[in-house]
Amino acid sequence: MEHGTPLGIGIVGVGGIALSHMAALRTMTSAQLVAVCDVDAARAAEVAHAERCAGYGSVEALLADDAVEAVIVCTPNMTHEALGLQVLAAGKHLLMEKPLAMTPEGARAVADEAAARGLALAVGHSHRFTDQSLAIREVIDAGEIGTPRFVRVVMNGGWIWPGWQAWVLNPELSGGHSLHNGIHIVDLASWWIGEPATSVFSVGQHATSEALEIHDYLVMELGFASGASAVCEISRGERPRSAGYLELTVVGTAGVVSRTWDAEGVLAWTDAGLTAWDIEGSAARVFLRELEAFVAAARSGAEVIPPVSAAIHAVDIAAASEASLREGRTIAIGAPA
């Protein structure tokens, strides 16, 4: 289609995270939602009616729609590699919700397919687009704290999954907590340090229950070739369930920048307690920025954010973290793609 017209976007999977993408798309002029699909065809039809777009019960039907120029995949982690390859093979630009794939090999396979076809491939590392993350990056880029040498990221909160049957709690489906939620914060740490991690040592707890198959409390210690280091802590086992705590610190050779929970701008005290991200307010800006960057990449060849190499490296770190949890030792991480 002509670049003066909105980029036609289809969404695969109409669960929770898709709502944030849809909310952002409603405010955009450079892109519009033209189709959705879901394995639950009735649910897809319901969402399609509300969003005034086409609704399909299969990926194949959505990809056959010529109005769909780009696809956002919002499905569980274990589907990402196969769906990513399918979308790209159909000639559609791709925004994959994190992680890019369940394994480093799968991530590289999807990236290679996109490169071979000349298509934009973005990964939904949405924390790169938050107000506080961008502000910290700006301070670093301005040289205000010198060379970053240490990063501490703490994102602790209560239970966010729908129940004990949630696919996220099955490591065979999610890849474990390192890959599902932890991947956000190791990406931030590597981005702020300004180089890829070379090692990871992780420890975890089953904070909610010993019956959990994933570590819902997790600390990942990253090492870097320059001697820099990072401590990344994430929990989904806090009490009460509505609890939330955020700490972001970067220590440089000439100063320190830090942002703590009471000013981080993505949680709100209400009469119902502390509420997490909503699809409005500061979180809406996150997904709007993410989608604007994706549209620019699809339309004009602008660089995706984060670069594909960084998205692959985040999978490398997360996979190594899960190996560290299993083996109880530091795991070396190979050079990024």
Residue 219: C-alpha distances to residues 57, 122, 321 (Å): 40, 27, 9
For the chain, the straight-line distance linking the first and the last C-alpha, in angstroms and rounded, comes to: 32
Assign a CATH topology to domain 128-282+314-332: Dihydrodipicolinate Reductase; domain 2 (3.30.360)
pLDDT class of 55 with cuts at 50, 70, 90: very high
Compute φ and ψ for 202, nearest 5 degrees. -125, 145
Domain ranges of the chain: 7-125+286-290, 128-282+314-332
pLDDT tens digit string along 2-27? 567 999 999 999 988 999 999 999 99
Largest CA distance in the chain: 57
Q: Residue 74: what are its φ and ψ, rounded to 5°? A: -120, 45
Pairing of β 121-124 and β 217-224: unpaired
Q: Which of these, 121, 126, 123, lies nearest to 155 by C-alpha position?
A: 126
Radius of gyration of the chain (CA): 19
Per DSSP, 119 falls in state -
Which pLDDT score is estimated for 263?
43
* Statement: 7-125+286-290 belongs to CATH 3.40.50.720: yes
Measure the CA–CA gap between 292 and 70, rounded to whole angstroms.
13
| Interatomic CA distance for residues 7 and 25, integer angstroms | 10
- For residue 277, name the pLDDT band (cuts at 50, 70, 90): very low
User: In the predicted model, is pLDDT for residue 297 greater than 90?
Assistant: yes
Beta-strand pair 244-252/256-260: antiparallel
Token look-up 């019960």 returns: 57
Residue of 103, 100, 241 whose CA lies nearest to 184: 100
Q: CA–CA separation, 80 vs 96, rounded Å?
A: 7
Q: Which value, to the nearest 10 degrees, does the dihedral of the CA atoms of residues 289, 236, 191, 149 take?
A: 140
Separation between Cα atoms, residue 170 and residue 166, nearest integer Å: 8
Q: Report residue 1's pLDDT band, with 50, 70 and 90 as the boundaries.
A: low
Which tens digit of pLDDT belongs to each residue from 88-135?
Answer: 999 999 999 999 999 999 999 999 999 999 999 999 999 999 988 999
Give the containing element (helix H, strand E) for 22.
Answer: helix 16-26
pLDDT band at 264 (very low <50, low <70, confident <90, very high): very low
The length of the chain in residues reads 337
Angle at Cα 79 formed by Cα 310 and Cα 304, nearest 5°?
A: 30
Residues 158/240, Cβ–Cβ less than 8 Å: yes
Nearest to 222 by CA among 252, 256, 188, 254: 188
DSSP 262: G
Question: Cβ-count burial of 316 within 10 angstroms (0-12 exposed, 13-18 middle, 19+ buried)?
Answer: buried
Q: Which range among 247-251, 278-282, 333-337 shows the weakest confidence by mean pLDDT?
A: 278-282
